């Protein structure tokens, strides 16, 4: 497997007032390597630095110290900025503030128009992208007529149309209702599974992180946990200490385990929990 994202000793601080006042570091030395095709969830509470980290993967922010490379491109290499952004697309939190056009299909085409893709190919890629997020029948609608979940799927289609290797989603479901969240998660998972696109999902919803292949926990600008979701969530007291939730099933198993019963806390799905409980109560 190839590493697609390499973050080495990443430090970052916002310096306002023209550099007179140096603020506290938001990121305090992060090392992280992500392989092609992975689905990584980055968990952390508000202000932990997880969104700042995401903005480094797309050169919206550049490291104060350290280095970030995406698909072999150093994000600090200004000459290859568009090349980088084409390979690592970004979806933001507020669905309203990232849709440019009043017509769905034209919004999906926006990046391709900017990149100067010829018409025939653009038409084909836009249609494919819309189909892959199940929004093809809405292609001539105005975004104002869509639900939050549908708008986010349009935003995702706009990225897929660029045929990126990697997609970074910065809290894409924070403003959505439960059904919108499910739509977006299903779309992201399918994209990862079927098209092999590497996914970096920034979130504070543990149920979303539980669906990923790898969870990275950021707290106070440092990477403090990294592993399979069941291993990370099983550390219930540590997660709670930094203000994060764990799935209810994990919490239940952990409580029973703590009370001395033979049940592993490494449980993250309902079915795993039901099986384990049936085994326990016999």
Partner 1 sequence: MPILETQELTYVYSPGTPFEKTAVDHVNISIEKGEMIGVMGHTGSGKSTLIQHFNGLLRPTSGKVLLDGKDIWEDKTKIRDVRFRVGLVFQYPEYQLFEETVFKDIAFGPRNMGLEEAEIKRRVLETAHDIGLPEELMERSPFDLSGGQKRRVAIAGVMAMEPDVLILDEPTAGLDPAGRDKILGHIKAYHRRTGNTTLIVSHSMEDIASFADRILVMSDSRLFCFDDTVKVFARSEEISAIGLDVPQITRVFDKLKKRGADFGKEVYTVEYAKNLLLKRLSEREVP
Partner 2 sequence: MLRDITIGQYFPGNSLIHRLDPRFKIVITVLYIIMLFAGGTYTGLAIGAAYALIAIALSKIKPKMFVKSIKPIMPFLLITALINLLLVSSGEILWQWKFLKITDAGINISVFMIIRIVLLIAGTSLLTYTTSPITLTDAIERLLSPLKKLKFPVHELAMMMSIALRFIPTLIEETDKIMSAQKARGAEIDTGSFITRARNLVSILVPLFISSFRRADELATAMECRCYNGGAGRTRLRQLKSAPRDYAALFVTAAFLAGVIIIGRIWS
Smallest separation, CB 108 to partner 1 (Å)? 23
Binding site for partner 1 (CB under 8 A): 45-47, 147-148, 174-175, 177-180, 204, 206-207, 243-245, 247-249, 251-252, 255-256, 259, 261, 270-271, 273-274, 277-278, 280-282
Q: Which is nearer to partner 1, 34 or 91 (CB)?
A: 91
Following DSSP, what letter does each residue of 159-219 receive, concatenated?
HHTT--SEEEEESTTTTS-HHHHHHHHHHHHHHHHHH--EEEEEES-HHHHTTSSEEEEEE
Q: Which is nearer to partner 2, 184 or 234 (CB)?
A: 184
Q: Which is nearer to partner 2, 82 or 261 (CB)?
A: 82
- Does 82 bind partner 2 (CB under 8 A)? Our answer is yes
Q: Which is nearer to partner 1, 163 or 272 (CB)?
A: 272
The rounded distance, in Å, linking the Cα atoms of 200 and 196 is 13
- Does 280 bind partner 2 (CB under 8 A)? Our answer is no
The rounded distance, in Å, linking the Cα atoms of 68 and 226 is 18
The sign one gets for the Cα dihedral 121, 126, 129, 130 is negative
Closest CA to 27 of 5, 44, 4: 44
In this structure, are strands 27-35 and 73-74 parallel, antiparallel, or unpaired? unpaired
Residues interacting with partner 2, by CB under 8 A?
Answer: 58, 60, 82, 85-86, 89-90, 92, 94, 96-103, 105-106, 109-119, 122-123, 126, 142-144, 158-159, 162
């Amino acid at each position: 497997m190839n590493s697609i994202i390499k973050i080495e000793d990443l430090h970052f601080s916002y310096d306002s007032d023209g550099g007179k006042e140096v603020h506290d570091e938001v990121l305090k030395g992060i090392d992280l390597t992500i392989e092609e095709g992975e689905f990584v969830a980055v968990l952390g509470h508000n202000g932990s630095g997880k969104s700042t980290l995401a903005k480094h993967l797309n050169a919206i922010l550049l490291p104060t110290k350290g280095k970030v490379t995406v698909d072999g491109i150093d994000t600090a290499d200004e000459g290859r900025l568009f090349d980088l952004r084409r390979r690592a697309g970004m979806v933001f939190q507020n669905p309203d503030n990232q849709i440019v056009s009043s017509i769905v299909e034209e919004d999906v085409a926006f990046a391709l128009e900017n990149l100067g893709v010829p018409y025939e190919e653009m038409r084909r890629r836009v249609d494919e992208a819309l189909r892959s997020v199940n929004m093809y029948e809405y292609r001539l609608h105005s975004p104002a007529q869509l639900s939050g979940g549908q708008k986010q799927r349009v935003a995702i289609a706009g990225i897929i149309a660029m045929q990126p290797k990697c997609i970074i989603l910065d809290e894409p479901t924070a403003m959505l209702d439960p059904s919108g969240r499910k739509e977006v998660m299903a779309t992201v998972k399918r994209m990862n599974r079927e098209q092999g696109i590497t996914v970096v999902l920034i979130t504070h919803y543990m149920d979303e992180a539980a669906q990923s292949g790898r969870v990275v926990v950021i707290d106070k600008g440092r990477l403090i946990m990294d592993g399979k979701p069941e291993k990370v969530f099983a550390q219930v007291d540590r997660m709670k200490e930094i203000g994060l939730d764990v799935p209810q099933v994990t919490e239940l198993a952990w409580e029973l385990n703590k009370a001395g019963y033979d049940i592993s806390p490494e449980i993250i799905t309902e079915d795993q929990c039901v099986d384990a409980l049936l085994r326990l109560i016999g």
